[in-house]
């Protein structure tokens, strides 16, 4: 048998492969071949270790480019959050530990009438790619925002009250043929992978963009990684659109599919969608000052949330808004290196431990929605 079978994980070029396949190859030649192959192997980040700020500074080094890419995905795409003069913006070196990130516009998507919006960033020095999916836009004066909101209604992204949370003046049935966001995101990523075959790929996003990052990475477990800030609930989409069984979801590499967020933002969502982020690890920034009128009961009691819905909705909106996040994610400690705020990471944070009656009700809804 060919000796290349001994190193299936290495992306060998022809010269390296030829050296390995030649039985008479010398030890130095084999060593050089392996070294050459290893040099081309894309690096992977231990996301959970970095999010625990190990070693000190690792969290900000990871999240600096993530936050920068998400900001650009909002400000450089068409829509209500577009910022004049931001069309060619990229991740700033000061947010990326000095790394130089270039945009790759030929692989990006910015459909003005609606669909997946994505920006692509390339670090050629370290052979890294970040693809950032834009989050939901909610200004009903834009067709693309109407489509986003209709999509999240169809996903049941806020449980039974999704039509209220994502209400739109549009007739959502008119958009049925355009709601293939998961397929659009997958196509964007595969085009990038085909072109940058020696680069690692990290998918990122906030809100709807975060959900698309995790859903797309889940299609290629062990290959893609995702960091999603306060992603929209996606478990139902794994089951419905991607056709994954509960067993398949439980076997996803949750350390490569990571959600980070404010506990009110993420846990209020899980109160209404009990398995909101199942399949991923959720890292929560606990113990920070929270805006009025957030109160602890909102994170754990659906009856309380329904009775005080105006206050819950206001808390959710304030903690979910993207400008709420960068200062929390990127704050440094007094030494100027370590992270000031380190999140608590657990797969348990991805789901809600409901009461028995809530579980029965939710199970019935899920069974009716995803047969």
**pLDDT tens, residue by residue, 290-306:** 999 999 999 998 899 99
Residue 44, pLDDT score = 84
Indicate whether 19 belongs to any domain.
Answer: no
What is the Cα–Cα distance from 163 to 178, expressed in whole angstroms? 18
Residue 166 belongs to domain with CATH number: 3.40.50
18 pLDDT band, cuts 50/70/90, is very low
Flag whether 371 is in a domain.
Answer: no
Contacts for 335 with CB less than 8 Å, ≥ 6 apart: 56
Nearest-angstrom CA–CA distance, 124 and 366: 44
b/e sequence 21-58, b meaning 16+ C-beta within 10 Å: eeeebeeebeeebbeebeeeebeebebbebbbbeeebb
User: Residue 4: inside a domain, yes or no?
Assistant: no
pTM for this one? 0.86
Q: Which residue range is the domain that position 236 belongs to?
A: 43-361
- pLDDT-derived band at 43, boundaries 50, 70, 90: confident
> pLDDT-derived band of residue 41, with 50, 70 and 90 as boundaries?
low
Q: Which residue has the higher pLDDT, 15 or 301?
A: 301
Domain count for the chain: 1
Model pLDDT, residue 21: 43
Tell me which of 6-20, 80-94, 203-217 is least confident.
6-20
| pLDDT tens-digit readout, 87-122 | 999 999 999 999 999 999 999 999 999 999 999 999
- Is pLDDT at 363 greater than 80 in this prediction? no
Residue matched to tokens 């290893």: 38
Q: From start to end of the chain, where are the E strands?
A: 102-103, 118-123, 128-133, 200-206, 225-229, 257-261, 281-284, 344-346
Q: Is 17 contained in some domain?
A: no
């Amino acid at each position: 048998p060919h000796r290349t079978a001994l190193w299936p994980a290495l992306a060998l070029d022809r010269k390296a492969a030829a050296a390995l396949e030649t039985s008479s190859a010398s030890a130095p030649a084999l060593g050089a071949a392996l070294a050459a192959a290893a040099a081309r192997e894309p690096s992977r980040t231990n996301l959970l270790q970095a999010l625990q700020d190990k070693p000190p500074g690792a969290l900000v080094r990871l999240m600096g480019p993530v936050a920068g890419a998400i900001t650009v995905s909002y400000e450089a795409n068409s829509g209500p959050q577009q910022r004049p003069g931001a069309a060619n913006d990229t991740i700033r070196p000061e947010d990326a530990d000095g790394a130089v990130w270039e945009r790759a516009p030929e692989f990006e998507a910015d459909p003005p009438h609606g669909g997946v919006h994505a920006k692509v960033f390339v670090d050629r020095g370290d052979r890294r790619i970040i693809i950032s999916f834009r989050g939901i836009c909610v200004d009903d004066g834009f067709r693309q925002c109407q489509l986003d909101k209709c999509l999240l209604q169809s996903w049941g992204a806020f449980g039974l009250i999704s039509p209220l949370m994502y209400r739109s003046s549009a007739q959502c049935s008119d958009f049925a043929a355009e709601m293939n966001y998961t397929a659009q995101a997958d196509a964007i990523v595969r085009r990038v992978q085909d072109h940058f075959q020696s680069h690692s790929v990290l998918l990122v996003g906030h809100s709807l963009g975060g959900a698309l990052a995790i859903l797309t990475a889940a299609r290629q477990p062990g290959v893609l990684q995702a960091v999603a800030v306060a992603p929209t609930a996606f478990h139902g989409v794994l089951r419905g659109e991607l056709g994954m069984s509960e067993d398949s979801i439980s076997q996803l590499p949750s350390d490569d599919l990571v959600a980070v967020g404010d506990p009110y933002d993420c846990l209020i969502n899980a109160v209404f969608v009990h398995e909101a982020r199942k399949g991923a690890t959720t890292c929560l920034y606990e113990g920070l000052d929270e805006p009025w009128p957030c109160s602890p009961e909102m994170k754990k009691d659906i009856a309380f949330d329904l009775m005080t819905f105006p206050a819950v909705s206001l808390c959710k909106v304030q903690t979910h808004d993207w400008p709420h996040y960068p200062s929390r994610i990127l704050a440094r400690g007094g030494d100027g290196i370590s992270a000031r705020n380190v999140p608590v990471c657990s797969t348990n944070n991805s789901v809600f431990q409901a009461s028995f009656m809530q579980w029965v009700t939710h199970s019935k809804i899920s069974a009716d929605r995803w047969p």
